[in-house]
Structure 1
Amino acid sequence: MLNWIKGLLGVFVLAAAAGCGGSGGDDHPGNIVEVAQGDSRFTILVEAVQAAGLADTLSAPGPFTVFAPTNDAFAALLGELGVTKDQLLGNKPLLTAVLKYHVVTGAVPSSAVPLGKPIRPVEGGFFKVDKQGSDLVITDGRNRTSTIVQTDVEASNGVIHAVNKVLLPADKNIVQTAQANADFSLLVEAVSAAGLADTLSGPGPFTVFAPTNAAFAALLGELGVTKEQLLADTALLTQVLTYHVVPGLVLKAEVPVGTPIKTVQGGTFAVTPALAITDQRGRQAGIVATDVLASNGVIHVLDKVILPAP
């Protein structure tokens, strides 16, 4: 009887600490599932974990780090997907993929989150976390953002960080991501004309420095050719396009500034501290947007087409 009372008191203390924004004052918190069950903000998450058959996994020794969506986050997701809660909970493959995307192996406190670098959940894929002011903001595989609203809720088998939006894994590769952006229509035409669409749709990962339509229009004037002439010269086109592709996943935080970066084409370019690229002809292009995530890599946006050595 005494042990039962102690256990009950422990649950109440843990729930009170989590509700007050603390990291858990009990020396013996429950496991991740038990902590979530004791917090009224996570009732839908608990239902989802049970519906997906993941309760036993998240009760195991781990350790795990769970980026835990609140009830409000799940409610917003239902509106975004146009489904009811019952429909979401009934779609076990989707539910399992989404929930596992929120789980990282190992206990990662907020102080150890690798800012700006790929974080790889157990489901596969990746997302990143950036510091924006005083907030920690997650960018998921679909380039949606979620804010971590509470950090370092302790559990016996890991740690929970509460998030205000459900994360979703990527559903588009690099080519599909470019196709969905009207400002890359010339790039998409060029990739198709060079026969590179299948390659850039492959597993990768790839880092693509992607010129905008305005960048391609400026190149046509610089070379004195029409779009049709450029697209017909597949040898030149292939050289130019592969010069924009770097093997591997290189997010902005990991771009080696001032060091030659080797491309798939074989040539190199360098990036300045101001995020400008100097190509092998001494021309400069500005990186105007970074870290557009895709299932097989990342896109950084350029305002000028870069050229390999002639």
Structure 2
Amino acid sequence: MRKILFLLMIITIACMAGVTLKSCKKVDIKETTTTDVNMLDYLKQDTLKRFSLLIDIVNRTGYDAFLNAYGTYTLFAPTDDAINSYLKSIGKSSLDQLTVDQMKDIIRFHMLEEIVSTADFNDGKLPSVTMYGQFLVTGVSNKDGISSFVVNRQALVKQANIIVGNGIIQVVDAVLTPTTYTLAQLAAQNPDYSVFTEALKGTGYYDTLNSMKYANGSQRWLTLIAETNKALADSGFHNYAELKAKYCNTGDPKNPKDSLHLYVAYHILDNVKYLADIVMSGSHQTLAPLEVVTDKMINKKVLLNDDEYSTIDGTVHEPGVELEQAGSDVSATNGVLHKALGHLKIKVRNPFPVYWDLCAEVPELTRLTAVYKKKTYLFDYGDGNTLKDVKWEKSCLKYRAGVTGYLGDYWQMGLGTKGSNTDNLGDCAGNTWIEFTTPLLVKGKYKVWFTYFTQNTSKIIAVQGSFDSIPLNSALIQFHAKISTIDPLKEAEQEALGWKWWAGAAKKSGSTAARMLGIVDVKVTGRHKIRFDLVSGSNSDCNFDMVHFIPVGMNQTVPRFNPDGSIEY
């Protein structure tokens, strides 16, 4: 930490002295520098005298030595005005009317044991709990055209990123107050959740949500998606009796196999997930075994189980349930509560075939209207996050248009050697792996087919496919290999050998090959990872076109796909 501060001091001094340093002009985050004093000394030396009450609290609690000790801390420092307002709000006239333990709690709730600058703030929880043991949430407030960082929906950051010897200080205009309610108590005290609370009690989950610790003594963190009475009434459930009559199929709601028990479990997520955490992932495991909720954000609305399926006949949209943002992100002592505006029942999802075009599902590509399906393009590696759902080892990744693949395009990569210099756009260095995030897959068993177009048949190469880090062992991909010359009328024999044609009749040839990589048992509905690793050999033109996930027992050889987008059955 002191090395970092020393470097910042050198840069600051150099800038002040007029030394030509390019970095002096490119720093975006403005930070208040100090003479390397620690937190308590900085508070005492504040020229505006804003922290006399906070200093008094520190001294009364015996935390004065701690705030000046070496470490890497973040202090959200309330001003005197903030503390006076807080005292008034709780009916106190001075600090003398607070106990030492109450003052200790104030300090502990305003401190983290790691450095968190405003660059780390987002619309969600901070990366670690406070020393009090609860999360703080941050966001941005805009009032009269002025944007400010807001902490816990309680305080604005008035001065940010004050670097001191043992961490960083964020000055806030209000005292942050921790919640005193468990998730169960939050639901029970809100009359809008009275029916849902009865369901919590009837199934035994009220006790789970009222507990702070697991049996082993570790902290319990859960996320509750609570349905309002209106949401239930709109679906025909005006009271708990009607809800129980609909779902309870064993007569015992506390039976883990009972449908009412599972319905309530479906509303509880493991770990603490604020809205920002929810929208960062496509699906979330619930306490209902092997059942997930999916999520997305549309027009600034957070929606659960709002799903779209790409089928042969087009896209199917199943509307979801909105989480009201104003009523969500309510912190509890053991997690966070969200307010559902609709009836969220366990979604019955049956496995269906997914014919996944690896290019068409990448929004960073498809929104490039001058490129997509029109011309070859090189995506820079950047920091490795150029494409959200496609990762590769290094260098660039080539998109090829106007080719034989489905929709007339595919990804092309040099494995074990650099890629071809198509259209004189430049070279992409050779890679040894590439990984894709799948579309939503419903839990079930699937045969996995990889489709490609053969080039450079003299370049012997072998590539291992894996699904969620588990190798697909039916076959390796050999990009140089064409499909077997078996009589095309005997496609069942080809399939038995792990091959099929994927292209339509006009393009049906040995080069349009699909290899059956293996069978996967998708345990959890959601998006997964499929990865391709070089095993041996090299080929500058490995073409990644489609992946077919076809449920076991369904026809595996049709339909077939044409470059113009037409599909043959």
Interval of TM-score (by shorter of Structure 1 and Structure 2): 0.7 to 0.9
Equivalent residue for 1:242, pick from 260, 265, 271: 265
1:173 to 2:182 alignment: yes
Q: Aligned-pair distance for 1:227?
A: 3.6
What is the alpha-carbon distance in structure 1 between the residues aligned to residue 84 and residue 205 of structure 2? 41
The corresponding residue for 1:17 is none
Which residue type is aligned with residue 332 of structure 2?
Answer: A
**Identity of paired residues, percent?**
25
Q: Aligned-pair distance for 1:160?
A: 1.1
1:64 to 2:102 alignment: no
Q: Aligned-pair distance for 1:180?
A: 2.3
Bigger radius of gyration among the two:
2
- Structure 2 residue runs of 5 or longer lacking an equivalent are 1-29, 213-219, 308-317, 349-569
Q: Which moved more, 1:271-280 or 1:151-160?
A: 271-280
What is the alpha-carbon distance in structure 1 between the residues aligned to residue 296 and residue 123 of structure 2? 21
The corresponding residue for 1:50 is 59
What is the alpha-carbon distance in structure 1 between the residues aligned to residue 344 and residue 123 of structure 2? 29
Report if the CA contact (8 A) 2:224-2:269 is conserved. yes
Q: Aligned-pair distance for 1:242?
A: 0.7
Which residue type is aligned with residue 137 of structure 1?
Answer: V
- Structure 1 residue runs of 5 or longer lacking an equivalent are 1-21
The corresponding residue for 1:5 is none
1:186 aligned counterpart, secondary structure: helix
The corresponding residue for 1:13 is none
The corresponding residue for 1:32 is 39
Equivalent residue for 2:224, pick from 208, 212, 220: 208
1:112/1:193 CA distance change after superposition, 3 Å: closer
Q: Aligned-pair distance for 1:297?
A: 0.7
Q: Going by fraction, where is strand more abundant, 1 or 2?
A: 2
What is the alpha-carbon distance in structure 2 between the residues aligned to residue 299 and residue 153 of structure 1? 33
1:58/1:115 CA distance change after superposition, 3 Å: farther
Structure possessing the higher relative contact order (Cα contacts under 8 Å, 6 or more residues apart):
1
The corresponding residue for 2:234 is 218
Q: Aligned-pair distance for 1:52?
A: 0.8
Q: Aligned-pair distance for 1:88?
A: 4.2
How many residues align structurally? 280
2:329 aligned counterpart, secondary structure: strand
Q: Aligned-pair distance for 1:283?
A: 5.7
The corresponding residue for 1:284 is 320
What is the alpha-carbon distance in structure 2 between the residues aligned to residue 245 and residue 220 of structure 1? 22
Which residue type is aligned with residue 285 of structure 1?
Answer: V
What is the alpha-carbon distance in structure 2 between the residues aligned to residue 29 and residue 151 of structure 1? 17
Report if the CA contact (8 A) 1:279-1:308 is conserved. no
Equivalent residue for 1:264, pick from 262, 287, 305: 287
Q: TM-score, normalised by structure 1?
A: 0.83
What is the alpha-carbon distance in structure 1 between the residues aligned to residue 133 and residue 265 of structure 2? 27
What is the alpha-carbon distance in structure 2 between the residues aligned to residue 216 and residue 37 of structure 1? 55
Q: Which moved more, 1:251-260 or 1:74-83?
A: 251-260
1:85 to 2:108 alignment: no
Equivalent residue for 2:105, pick from 97, 105, 117: 97
Report if the CA contact (8 A) 1:268-1:279 is conserved. no
Report if the CA contact (8 A) 1:23-1:152 is conserved. yes
1:260/1:156 CA distance change after superposition, 3 Å: closer
The corresponding residue for 2:124 is 116
Instruction: String of CA shifts for 1:265-292, please: whole Å, max 9, x gaps.
Output: 1212211222211279x56211112311
1:87/1:299 CA distance change after superposition, 3 Å: same
| Superposed structure 1 runs of 4+ greater than 4 Å apart | 22-26
Which residue type is aligned with residue 307 of structure 1?
Answer: K
What is the alpha-carbon distance in structure 1 between the residues aligned to residue 297 and residue 95 of structure 2? 50
1:115-194 correspondence to structure 2 within 5 Å: 115-118=123-126, 119-133=128-142, 134-139=147-152, 144-194=153-203
Q: Going by fraction, where is helix more abundant, 1 or 2?
A: 1
Equivalent residue for 1:230, pick from 243, 258, 268: 243
